[in-house]
């Protein structure tokens, strides 16, 4: 199976490269994500059996001041990629986010629940989802949350860095979700891609996040405990750390549809966290 991947240096793209070394990964220099026509042309120009979009504008706060750019990258370009993939008759897989929801309540979000993004980032990702669906080809949209790895910028690496110099930290405790390892997301995308290529599985939107659900303070305590750092974590409300973009309080996700359609269960993020911590210690 010949795989074409948009993204080369992001967390998920880095893991896709590790797990699918024969895949073709397109950097931003090779495919301008702010140019939908260029992205479509990149799909048409390459011999691929499946296309995975693992690239995005992920700067949630910055998106508030550059929503047009975020919408081109997260909305118009994935739609153009999906249209090109549909024209070639090959499956298209796209990574999305829990930020498409308004984040209220306590129940896990199901794929068919009404959306209501709180900010520009979520709105831009929702435009992308709608465009992928409208393209009419075989597709899978994988919504995920709280991505972490040994690469790029993420909560685990931030906590490790702060824990090296601070004996105590205040961490938000009223936002709840499922931390998800980029390596697990990559493995899931590759499994789904292979099944869709064989005509198995089903087009649609799916949720994938790590279990069990926790708040950020609980996640931080686990990072420090597993990493051997002695740091006291005090949970605080989101209001203690105001940001340009409002974060959803409820990022719980119901992942049962993914298990039903593709046989992929929710992963235990604690197992993945140990692997990431091992990579960080080894300098991988």
78 vs 208: CA distance, rounded Å:
19
The vertex-275 CA angle with 215 and 190, nearest 5°, equals: 90
Distances (CA, A) of 207 to 127, 195, 213, 252, 257: 17, 17, 14, 10, 7
Place of tokens 């390892």: 181
Q: Which residues 6+ apart lie within 8 Å of 157 measured at CB?
A: 148, 150, 280
Q: How far, in whole angstroms, is CA 256 from its chain's centroid? A: 18
Assess contact for 216 and 169: CB atoms under 8 A. no
Backbone angles phi, psi at 6, to 5 degrees: -90, 125
121 is catalytic: yes
Distance CA 94, CA 83 (A): 13
Q: Which of 121, 206, 208, 241 is catalytic?
A: 121
* Token pair belonging to 133: 């669906």
- Can you tell me the distance from the alpha carbon of 16 to that of 190, in angstroms, rounded to the nearest whole number? 8
To the nearest 10°, the Cα dihedral for 215, 219, 221, 224?
-160
List CB contacts of 52: < 8 A, sequence separation 6 or more: 3, 4, 5, 6, 16, 92, 93, 94, 189, 193
Q: For residue 275, what are the β-bridge partners?
A: none
Per DSSP, 246 falls in state P
Residue numbers annotated as active site: 121
């Amino acid at each position: 199976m010949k795989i074409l991947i948009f993204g080369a240096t992001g967390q998920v793209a880095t893991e896709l490269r590790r797990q699918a070394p024969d895949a073709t990964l397109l950097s931003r220099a090779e495919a301008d994500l702010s140019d939908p026509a260029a992205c479509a042309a990149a799909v048409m120009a390459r011999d691929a059996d499946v296309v995975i979009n693992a690239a995005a504008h992920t700067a949630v706060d910055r998106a508030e001041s550059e929503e047009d750019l975020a919408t081109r990258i997260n909305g118009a370009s994935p739609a153009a990629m999906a249209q090109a993939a549909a024209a070639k008759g090959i499956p298209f897989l796209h990574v999305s986010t829990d930020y498409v929801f308004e984040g209220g309540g306590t129940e896990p979000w199901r794929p068919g629940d009404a959306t209501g993004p709180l900010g520009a980032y979520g709105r831009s990702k929702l435009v992308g989802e709608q465009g992928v669906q409208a393209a009419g080809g075989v597709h899978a949209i994988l919504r995920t949350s709280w991505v972490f790895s040994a690469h790029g910028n993420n909560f685990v690496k931030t906590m490790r860095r702060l824990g090296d110099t601070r004996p105590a930290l205040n961490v938000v405790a009223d936002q709840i979700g499922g931390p998800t390892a980029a390596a697990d997301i990559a493995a899931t995308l590759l499994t789904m891609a292979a099944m869709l290529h064989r005509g198995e599985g089903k087009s649609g939107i799916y949720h994938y996040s790590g279990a069990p659900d926790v708040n950020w303070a609980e996640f931080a305590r686990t990072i420090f405990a597993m990493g051997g750092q002695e740091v006291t974590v005090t949970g605080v409300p989101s209001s203690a750390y105001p940001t340009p973009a409002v974060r959803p309080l409820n990022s719980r996700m119901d992942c049962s549809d993914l298990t039903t359609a593709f046989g992929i269960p929710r992963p235990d993020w604690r197992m993945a966290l140990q692997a990431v911590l091992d990579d960080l210690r080894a300098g991988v």
